[in-house]
Structure 1
Amino acid sequence: MFYTPTLAASWAVKYICKVKQLCTEKLLSTAWLTGTYYSIKGTYQSLEAQQYKTPWARYVWKRFTLPRHRFTTWLALLDRLRTKNRLFKYGIGDNNLCAICGGAPETSAPLFFDCSYSKECLNIALDWLEFRMRRISALHVFQWFRTYCKNSFKQKIGYATIAGTLYQVWKARNSVVWDHFVPTAASLMESLKFDVKHRILEIHSKKISADNRSWLISL
């Protein structure tokens, strides 16, 4: 069915043949190859439709959330951050323990927010927003805001704050690894509060209701 390139074929030819086979396997059809009309857009949309929809994407890609916070949160929820546990599997590093507390293997799950340090950061963030909850995973915290926070403005700020907290914890972790310095949770959260408030006032200032503006300024 598919052309098999010779050993002497260039890497480009080999790669094109490989992609053709992968696309056909993914689409479960050769119609995209044999049809009289080919559309790049149509093929892309067909391939995209096969992808698994991540239910947590709604929490990450929000305008209130700073881009760098979104990116780190996206990697954390995918469990794709270069944690010590992940690197240790490839023979990198002396151990796989959490760089901050050393109490468990460093993976996204305990780092956000089971680790005592990250839990302290989360509690400071929640106290700042005047919310109370008992959750130990980042995803559960996001889900709590979606379920129980009915004010959409406060909900979006909640998403932005939790994403920012993940970013600050990861930043602190990197500080420990590279600079051998552990910043205090309080100092991290002060930086986060400044970022969140000024981000929202910058992009959404004229559209905030009086009540929501008063609440935001009081934080």
Structure 2
Amino acid sequence: MDYKPTTNSSWVWRRICRVKQEMLPGYANGPWEVQGKEFSTAGCYEWLKGSKPKVPWARLIWNAWVVPKHQFLGWLFARGALRTNDKLVQYGMDIDDHCYLCAQATEGEDHLFFECAFSKRVGVQAVVVWGAMYHIWQERNRCRIDGAITRPGKCSEQIIEEVKARIRGRDFQHMTKAEINWLSQKNLYVMVA
């Protein structure tokens, strides 16, 4: 339990060891003793998670309007958890941190989704924001692996069709002031009916 990874250990192993350190207080006197309960994955998750305030972006992402695969990417973005090149370099990976889509700047979340010439041509508005982010991320990965980029117009068409298909048959849900404020802080343009 006292093991510490060396500085030349892989970032994955260092992360696993960090989780072990976070869980140590639950084993303070031998077996798992959190809230007088036996160990369970769900109980451990709840204990590690702790009580957190509700985030203003939750309903913007986790609602019936947004396509599920777009929700997941939106959730990663809202948490700042996308593994963009700038973060991979910070984790110690030996890669070029440039943007695969424009090769003009360091690839970070703000650049990739809001500043990159490619993302500006795709367009970002209302519910489409999560779809645009999803497809920009897919194009970034396709470019990284295959070295090819889909034209932005085709990317926009795919987003519009997916969002239209999702919205058909759904009732409009009004956004709260906190949700609108969160989107404004991210410089996202929101159309509220």
TM-score category (smaller protein): 0.5 to 0.7
Name 1:109's counterpart in structure 2. 110
Say which structure is richer in helix.
1
**Distance between the aligned counterparts of 2:46 and 2:81, measured in 1?**
25
Does residue 146 of structure 2 align to residue 179 of structure 1? Answer: yes
Tell me the amino acid that sits aligned with residue 25 of structure 2: Q
SS state of the match for residue 50, structure 1? coil
Does residue 20 of structure 2 align to residue 19 of structure 1? Answer: no
Task: Indicate if the aligned counterparts of 2:70 and 2:130 stay in contact, CA closer than 8 A.
Answer: yes
SS state of the match for residue 145, structure 2? helix
Name 1:72's counterpart in structure 2. 73
**Distance between the aligned counterparts of 2:70 and 2:20, measured in 1?**
36
Deviations 1:121-166 (A, max 9, x none): 12xx54xxxxxxxxxxxxxxxxxxxxxxxxxxxxxxx22x111011
**Distance between the aligned counterparts of 1:66 and 1:107, measured in 2?**
24
Does residue 39 of structure 2 align to residue 32 of structure 1? Answer: no
**Distance between the aligned counterparts of 2:97 and 2:2, measured in 1?**
44
SS state of the match for residue 193, structure 1? helix
Q: Provide the identity percentage.
A: 26
**RMSD across aligned positions (CA):** 3.5
SS state of the match for residue 162, structure 2? helix
Task: Indicate if the aligned counterparts of 1:172 and 1:183 stay in contact, CA closer than 8 A.
Answer: yes
**Distance between the aligned counterparts of 2:103 and 2:20, measured in 1?**
46
Q: TM-score, with normalisation over the residues of structure 1?
A: 0.56
In structure 2, relative to structure 1, the CA distance for the partners of 1:31 and 1:174 (3 Å cut) is closer
Q: TM-score, with normalisation over the residues of structure 2?
A: 0.63
In structure 2, relative to structure 1, the CA distance for the partners of 1:54 and 1:117 (3 Å cut) is same
Q: How does 1:87-126 map to 2 (within 5 A)?
A: 87-89=88-90, 90-93=92-95, 95-122=96-123, 125-126=124-125
**Distance between the aligned counterparts of 1:100 and 1:6, measured in 2?**
44
Task: Indicate if the aligned counterparts of 1:32 and 1:43 stay in contact, CA closer than 8 A.
Answer: no
Point out where structure 1 has 5 or more consecutive residues left out of the alignment. 8-14, 25-29, 127-157, 209-219
Point out where structure 2 has 5 or more consecutive residues left out of the alignment. 4-18, 173-193
Aligned residues: 151
Q: How does 1:1-219 map to 2 (within 5 A)?
A: 19=23, 21-22=25-26, 32-33=35-36, 50-89=51-90, 90-93=92-95, 95-122=96-123, 125-126=124-125, 158-159=126-127, 161-201=128-168, 203-204=169-170
